[in-house]
Amino acid sequence: MSTADTWILTAQCPSRLGTVDVVTRFLKENHCYITELNSFDDRLACHFFIRAEFRPENEGFDSERFQDEFAPRAAEFDMTFELTPPGRRTPVVIMVSRTDHCLNDLLYRYRTGQLPIDVRAVISNHPDLEPLAAWHRIPYHHCPITPETKPQQEAEVWRIIEETGAELVILARYMQVLSPGMSARLSGWAINIHHSLLPGFKGAKPYHQAYEKGVKLVGATAHYINDDLDEGPIITQGVEAVDHSHYPEDLVAKGRDIERQTLARAIDYHLQRRVFLHARRTVVFAGS
């Protein structure tokens, strides 16, 4: 986790000689001590990515001046960049259906400060989890949906997201397929979690199907959503070994544990600016 006094500079550009130097030299000239540095050059796409976590050594660090002065140097490399201040809490909206393990885990991490988020609202197509949100004093919006009311329901969901000022939407086991239009609106800033089994089992009770096939691995995948169902750019994956002694209910329990841990890790990486969207894949600087 980033420390309370460190800033984060992220940047990307076409591959060129001097890309690391332009970032690190500028930080040195501005008396900024680098506490963590990650970079990656994609030789197939000829594209460069860098993330620098740093601590200003002079008092009165001026972020606007920093960005204004770095901009012309970045422009020489066709480099886009973002500066993230320390201690920033990202406003989020969580979407969920009836299953509560991911929502409960996220709200715990929110309450204890493990995730630097400001949960503005919980949206669900069922009323079941309203008491959990109410206990955390978070507004809960019950937005029921049927095939006939899907456009109206998604319009209401979008209204809530806009009104709350959310910068990240988390699908914490929201068991509805988003329309292509909604997926396009949320592309790149909504994170979904789902089970990940080999072979893949579709339809109802995937873990029961997995038991019947005698699977030896269960897992979960967290990814950004796009217009391909459960096939958006992957951020994190988790996996654990199982064997013949695991009955269907054991696989379900283990799968839920992996889902909540994998989702929380993906959100943490996103908040720490460790994830770069790169075409239909990601570059992820996982850190320690």
Average pLDDT for residues 175-204, to the nearest whole number? 87
Helix (H) or strand (E) holding 251: helix 248-271
Would you state the pLDDT for residue 200?
74
Q: What is the mean pLDDT of residues 6-33?
A: 97
Residue pair 215/197 in contact (Cβ under 8 Å)? The answer is yes
**Whole-number CA gyration radius for the chain:** 21
Domains and CATH numbers, the chain: 7-84 (3.30.70.260), 90-284 (3.40.50.170)
Tokens matching residue 212: 């019947």
Q: What is the mean pLDDT of residues 221-227?
A: 90
Q: What is the pTM of this model?
A: 0.93
Q: What is the pLDDT of residue 202?
A: 75
Is residue 141 over pLDDT 70? yes
Q: How confident is the model at residue 274 (pLDDT cuts 50, 70, 90)?
A: very high
State the pLDDT at residue 130: 97
* Dihedral (CA of 76, 81, 87, 88) sign: positive
pLDDT at 179 over 60: yes
pLDDT band at 3; cut points 50, 70, 90: low
Among 78, 65, 69, smallest CA distance to 18 is for 78
pLDDT of residue 231: 77
Interval 50-109: pLDDT, tens: 999 999 998 889 999 999 999 999 999 999 999 999 988 999 999 999 999 999 999 999
Q: What is the pLDDT of residue 85?
A: 94
- Give yes or no: 62 in active site: no
Task: Say what the pLDDT of residue 138 is.
Answer: 97
**How would residue 275 be classed by pLDDT, with cut points 50, 70 and 90?**
very high
pLDDT of residue 227: 76
- Cα atoms in the Cβ-side hemisphere of radius 13 Å centred on 283: 18
Q: How confident is the model at residue 204 (pLDDT cuts 50, 70, 90)?
A: confident
Neighbours of 38 (CB within 10 A): 16
Contact 223, 235 (CB under 8 A): yes
Q: Which residue has better confidence, 41 or 279?
A: 41
Mean pLDDT of the chain: 93
Cα separation values, 29 from 25, 33, 57, 67, Å? 6, 10, 11, 14
Q: What is the pLDDT of residue 230?
A: 64
Q: Which of 41, 100, 230, 257 is catalytic?
A: 230
More confident residue, 215 or 24: 24
Residue 30's pLDDT band (cuts 50, 70, 90): very high
Residue 271: pLDDT band (50, 70, 90) is: very high
Instruction: Report the candidate in 80, 83, 34, 79 with the shortest Cα–Cα distance to residue 55.
Output: 34
Element holding 276 (H helix, E strand): strand 275-278
User: Per-residue pLDDT averaged across 158-175, rounded?
Assistant: 96
